[in-house]
Structure 1
């Protein structure tokens, strides 16, 4: 199970996707949870999601936690695959409940009834890459996933002479 959750390689692409997704998603989560960046905070967001959008209380709570705590987990590269799966599922739900009727494009000019779902597709695509590849370079997953039986971390390398052990 540990291998499935934490195994990753030194992939630079996963690292940059992780940073991009975490940096873009964090302010949205902080708006919902803490009221930062012009957001309404936890209570008002819960009211909006349960009353106006019609989500169950538990689902609304998960939306807030996935965007706020999940973005921090993605940035750290901790439980990247699980968190990416949750983010991907959430954003599919967001498209289906809020944005599908508004078309593809964002509402840059203010002429649509609401925002399209192009941004959401990018988040889903980034989540899929992280789900398949893991957190990549500089992730906590990499540190945890490469622990050997004696508690040391061995990073996979091309030749045994390049192997480095960390205690």
Structure 2
């Protein structure tokens, strides 16, 4: 029995379970979450358009990636999709600085970096990947999963930045007092 393998099991269960809980909040309204509709509204307000599609993708990435990490099954894929979701969350929180106590990006960054580390480092001996002879945990799988998830995260973040910039321009172009009523003569 290896301490490293036990450590990886504990890490996978903790990070995976946390991601599953956050995904369940978005998808099902569990643990006080907004469910799809509530999350869709929040995603739209944050610049992720369309909100509903982004809510489903974010929730599925967190929940699905978390399940895969916790089980140690297709660990590169689970780590990559979880990291991609956390990259987008990190961008949202970045204006608030680093620390989570101020609404900063500390928490999603740690979840994302840990997910990448598990994707690259592997799940350890106490995993379904080990039981399957690592059929879904190959070096090429890791490279492909991280590249695809990175490309998806980049496209999502770029689209959000464009939407936020458009919203800011629209607000700047709007009259300060709202629409002006016609003057009666």
Q: How does the TM-score come out when normalised to structure 1?
A: 0.69
Which structure has the larger Rg over C-alpha atoms? 2
- Corresponding residue for residue 120 of structure 2: 132
Provide the alpha-carbon RMSD of the alignment: 1.9
CA apart distance, 1:32: 0.8
Q: Is residue 78–residue 141 contact of structure 1 (8 Å, CA) maintained in 2? A: yes
Specify the alignment match of 1:55 in structure 2.
48
Alignment match, 2:62 = 67
2:154 matched residue in structure 1? none
- 1:18 corresponding residue in structure 2: 12
User: Following the alignment from structure 2 to structure 1, what is the Cα–Cα distance between the partners of residues 134 and 63?
Assistant: 27
User: How many residue pairs end up in the alignment?
Assistant: 130
Please say if residues 14 and 133 of structure 1, whose CA atoms lie closer than 8 Å, have aligned partners that are also in contact.
Answer: no
CA contact (8 A) 1:100 1:116 kept: yes
Which one has more relative contact order, counting CA pairs under 8 Å at least 6 apart? 1
Distance 1:118 1:146 in 2: 32
In structure 1, what is the Cα distance between the partners aligned to 2:24 and 2:54? 17
The aligned counterpart of 1:43 is 37
User: Residues 14 and 129 of structure 1 are in contact (CA less than 8 Å); yes or no, is this contact kept in structure 2?
Assistant: no
Are the counterparts in 2 of residues 106 and 116 from structure 1 also a CA contact under 8 Å?
yes
In 2, distance between residues paired with 1:32 and 1:84? 19
Q: Which residue, out of 107, 110, 127, partners 1:119?
A: 107
Shift of 1:43: 2.1
* SS of match in other structure, 2:132: helix
Q: Which has the higher helix share?
A: 2
Consecutive unaligned residues in structure 2, runs of 5 or more: 136-185
Q: Distance in 2 between matches of 1:85 and 1:69?
A: 11
2:133 aligns with one of 145, 150, 156: 145
Which ranges of 4 or more aligned residues in structure 1 deviate by more than 2 Å? 10-14, 56-61
